[in-house]
Each structure stands twice: as C-alpha cells, then as structure tokens.
Structure 1
Amino acid sequence: MIDFTISDDLAARRDRIRRFVQEQIVPYERDPRLTQHGPTDELRNELVELARSAGLLTIQAAEADGGWGLSHVEQAVLYEAAGWSTLGPIAMNCAAPDEGNMFLLGKITTPEQAATFLAPMIAGHQRSAFAMTEPGGAGSDPGQLQTSATFDGENFVVNGRKWLITGARGAKTWIIMANLEDNPHLPSGPTLFLTDGDQQGIVIERIMNTMDRNYVEGHAVVEFRDLTLPRNALLGESGQAFRYAQLRLAPARLTHCMRWLGAAERAQSIAIAHAKTRTAFGKPIGEHQGVSFMLADNEIALHQCRLTIWHACWLMDSGAKGRHESSIAKAYVSEELFKVADRCVQVLGGIGISDETVVEMIFRDMRAFRLYDGPTEVHKYAIGRQILR
C-alpha cells in the first residue's frame, strides 16, 4: 500500500531547505554572474559554500560520504524544496549533470577512480560533464554514436565532436562516450571513459547560445583531437556504455522532474500573489473566472505531477527498475509543468514576459526541460513499445 504521509523529520528537512533557498539563494537570482550561459563557476562556488555552511551540501550522497542517504521518495520531497530557485540545486550540489553523474560513478567506478573523480564531486570541489550528444550523431538515438576510440593494449585514443555538453567549460570530471573499434585486447562497441577535463586533446570550441540559463557555464561544443587516455580511464566494462547510461537515466529523469516541480510551484506562487493584487474592471484579476481557472488548472497539474513523481519513486524504492514509469513521469511532468509556466506568464500579463519576476526565466528553462534526458516523443515511443509487447 502506498502511504503519502511525510514523516515529521522529512517535513522538517524540507522546510529547512525551503528556508535556506528563500533566504540565502533567491537573492542571487539578480547577480550579474547569472549570465546568458548560466551561473559562472565563481557564482557556483559561492553558492556551494553557503550550502556547505548550512549543512545542506550533496544531501543525496550516502551517509558514509557525508550525505543523508536518501530514498527516491525522500529525494522527491527535498529536491522540490530545493528547486524553488533554479540556483537552489546548484548550491546544494544536486543539480544536473553532476547529480546524475555522481549516481553513475557511485555504481561503476573502481576505488581508485572514485577517490580521484567522485570524492571531489561529492565534496563540491569540482564539477562534471557527460559527453554523449553529437551534431548529426548520438542524441535521442545513442546508437548513432560517431565518436571513435582505438586501443593498442596500453592507451585509448579518442576522436570525435560533441555538442550540447552541459557544464563542459571548467568541468574536471569527464565521462566520455565513444565507440571502441575492434581490437585484440578488449570487447568493442559503445564504451565510457573517465578522465580529467584538463587533458590535452579536449578542445572546447565554443559555448552555445541557448534559451535556458540554469546550468553552470552553459552548453558547449567540444572536439576530441587524438585524446590519449591510459587503460585505467576505462569506466566499467568496454562495450557496455548503453547499459550504464540506462543506470543513470531512470533516476536522472525523475530528479529533473522533482527540481522543476519546485520551480513551477514558485511560478504559481508569484502568479497567485499578482492575481490577488492586480485589479482590472473593478476587482482583483483573480476574481475573474478566466484567471482563476488558469490558476486552478495549475494547481491540478502541480498535484498530479507530484503524485506521478512519487509513484515512480515508490516503485524504485520497492526494488523496481522503474524505466517505464520514469519515462511516463518525464513525458507527462515536463509537458504539464511547461503549461503551468505558460499560464503563469499569461496571468502576469506584460510583466510576465519581462525579468521583473523570475517567471520568464522559469518559462524558458521549462521549455528546455521538455528536451532534457530525451524529448517527450522518445519517451512516448518507448512507452508505446512497452505496452504493445
């Protein structure tokens, strides 16, 4: 039986996070270091230190690593609180792509790799990048992977071009997906590699101009030019990249949903406050049916999205893989929350398209959310295949 009760301890932690975000993080939303390409590393580091001082850094980590050892349902409750500001998860070191990358590295690194690449991430001292998406190659269909790697028994040499690589500039921990060519030493096929971002051969061509600005240092175009890596740069087993990516994707889809639910709730609160005070035709606009219905539709959507997320999390906490349910959640929640943000812009009227409130930023970021970790159409394709089996 599903129990929707939130324990007193979890509620207290939720409220603690919400207060922290509202009181200490929200003021940074006007900081000039929140640029068109997202927060700069300087801003990110300052926010991380605030969370560290508040005892709220990397709460998703295992207790042995200084975190809270959260279940998926507990993450859902707490990440929603963190998402009240798009800077909240960045401060708390539970934002994408680092949160998902930490989850993956915690599953498949060797002890030596974990000490070098994972531990500094958990401590908030360095960021990461996951380099898979390619122009004309891997994306929604990773089977189109074009980046190649050769292996001579001692070293891998990686060549290829990637784009939309989130947080690439300044990232220290890099996970790179490449197609390992046939060789007499290891199984070939799509393979993950783990390396330091300062390696010669990783060339950041440019930072792309995108509509969203909530990821540290934006999204980059990257080229690997004879990137030479030692054998111990192999992450997991060769030829198993797609399987490992699936380990990361199901929970990462859900954590995206959790964080953006918090942002949509913030937008709704701003729209409600405006509807109570802005007057038109002799009364507050919230008393006009057209506006009240939009706010009601938002409230319904927020509630349904929360239940969808919690159900998928409950299944995963029960031991299920949750791939089907997380696809349902990602497809449904991303579409519904974008509608919420859109209605909030409409309720706000002229100021809704300005930066007088954060709603316009949430709206733009929410539009991009519909594409993160697979567009809606890819998830619906997977859902359709599953139900027709």
Structure 2
Amino acid sequence: MAMANAAEFLQEDLTDGGQILRLSGSFTIALIGDVDGRLRDLSADMRKIDLSAVEHMDTVGAWLVHRTAKESGAEIVGADKDASRLLQAVSGADQTDIPPRPHPPSFERFLAEVGHGVIISFTTLLQFLGFVGQVVKASFILAMNPGRFRWHAVVQHFDMVGVRALGIIGLMSFLIGIVIAQQGAVQLRQFGAEVFTINLIGRLTFRELGILMTAIMVAGRSGSAFAAQIGTMKITEEIDAMRTIGVVPAEALVVPRVIAAVMMMPLLGVYASLMAIIGGGILCWVVLEIPPTTFVQRLREVTPMTDFWIGVIKAPVFGAIIAMAGCFQGMQVHGNAEQVGLKTTAAVVQAIFLVIVLDAFFAIFFSEIGWN
C-alpha cells in the first residue's frame, strides 16, 4: 500500500496577473503539518486555488482550503466529487449565522425563577400528599392483614431512630437547657426576678423546645437515613425487584419506618425535656444558688400539666411527618447516585420546614382552646 504524501502547496504567477495556488498531497489532519501556518502568512494576490493534485482531503483540510479562499477571495478549481462535497459542507457551516441569545432583564429573570420555584413547590406538595395517601392505604391493608406486617423491621428502626439517638439528643438538650437558664437569668436579673428563670425553663422545654429540637435532630439523623437507604435501593433496582415479586414497597419499607418514628418521638421528646431541665437546674444551682429541691418544687408549681400533654401530642405527628418526608424523597431518586445526595438534603429541609409549620399551627390551636 502506497504511503500518502504530506500536504504541500506551490504558488505560480498567472499570465493576466495575480497568482494561482496549487495544492498537492493529502490534506488530512495527520499530514497537514505546518501548511496551516504557511497559508496564513500568504499575502500575494491569489486568484485561484487548484486542487487537481490533491490526493485526499478530510474535513480539516476542506476547512483550511475554504478559509484560505475566503480570506484571499480566490476561486477553488480542480476539486473532485468528494472534495467538492466537503467544501460545500464547511462553507455552509461557516455561513450559518447563530443569533445571540437574548438576555431578559434581571427583574424578568427573578420573576421566572420565583415562578419556577412556586410551581416546583406546589408539584412537590401534591406528590407528597399522594404519597401520604399511599402510606395510609398501606397501613389499613396491614391492619386488616397482620400476617404481612414486618415486626422485625419495626424493632430494627426502633433501635436506629430511638436508642442510637439518645446520646446526641441528650447532650443537645442538656446544653440547650443551660443556655436557656443562662440567658433567662441574665435578662431577669435586671428586674430582680431571677427566680422566674425556673418558669422559663419548665414551660419552654416541655411545651416547645424539647420536642421541637428533638424533631429537628431526628429529621437530620433518621430522616436523612431513610431517604438515603430507600434512594440507594431505588438506584440498585431493589424496589423494582420487590414489585416484581409482589411485595408492596410502601408496606415493606415505609410503614415500618413511620411506625417506629411515631412511637419513638414522644419518648425522645420527654427524654429531651428532662435533660434540658437537668441542664437548666444545674446552672440555677451553680449561678443563681437555687437548691435542686427548691428548683423541683418551683417547677411543679409553675409548669401546668397541659404543657406536658402539648409536647406529647405534637411528638407523634412530627415523627410521622419526618419519616414520610424521608421515605418520599427516597422514592423520588432516579438516574444516578448524585440524586441520592440531593434527595437526602431535600428530605431534611422538607421535614424541618413541615415540622416548624405544624408547630406554628399547633401553637395557635392550643392557644385558641385555652391551653396557654
């Protein structure tokens, strides 16, 4: 097989003035060499470009010939059928005028982003409500068919949601109790009312902060774990395999997690409130010199039982919301592993947002019925 010749060119003078450029060899990307730079340096009056001696030409070579002809205003002659087709293609591409993309004003872009966010939010809300309906339906089916219920899965999630969370929730609540007591004491000292720090600790921890901070911690810890676990199963097609063998994912994966969160949240909330009170009591003892017995007696006098029941009532609702938000986002995973991280983050944000919104509704509701 003959070896292809490298690309080359030769300038010749025409009888009527000007010059003709005669190209030879193979004008391919591998054999062009320094011809590109040398053609750019041509400054003579070029009338014609002769391709009759060109052995082979690819798209790069055709573009090089077209550019030279365009810059010098020369006529291309002697091209064979294949070369003519390539020259026509690159010429058409060069003449394509791509209009610049219009940039809308900043205010319009802002409105577009806000509108897109609102549409996404409402779509997600409707999908979440549909998912809640599926979970409720699966719960009723399991209640009517107890043999299909996976008790071992519930016990396993008891351990993950409740037992393994005791350390971090206890430490967090203990420190929050100290902070509440310290800030309350500093502010109340201005009025000589340091004793009312006990009122602040008791009512705030049992009624609001104890269960609210517990819900936030469970959302960041267990809600994210639910989303990551189910999302990974979605990526690895385990959920599709479950459907193939007749297992309903909502019954096998979602309901046990929801039940575990609903049952453990009241216990974790009471535990967190007690740890916060212990932290606040220690600070009152050390800083305000209020003995523990006086602290406990005063706490029993100023903290109504309704505050305790408010926390207990809110806890299972928060647990259900956190578990369903995590499972819902896990079920939304599709495509690749990056989606697992994105949906896990979305699960935590969605759960915390819904918990705070529900807490505001509970505060208004209990205030209206007289549980102040």
TM-score range, shorter-chain basis? under 0.3
Structure showing the higher helix proportion among its residues = 2
| Structure with the larger strand share | 1
Q: Which protein has the larger Cα radius of gyration, Structure 1 or Structure 2? A: 2
Q: When the two structures are superposed, what TM-score results if normalisation uses the length of structure 2?
A: 0.25
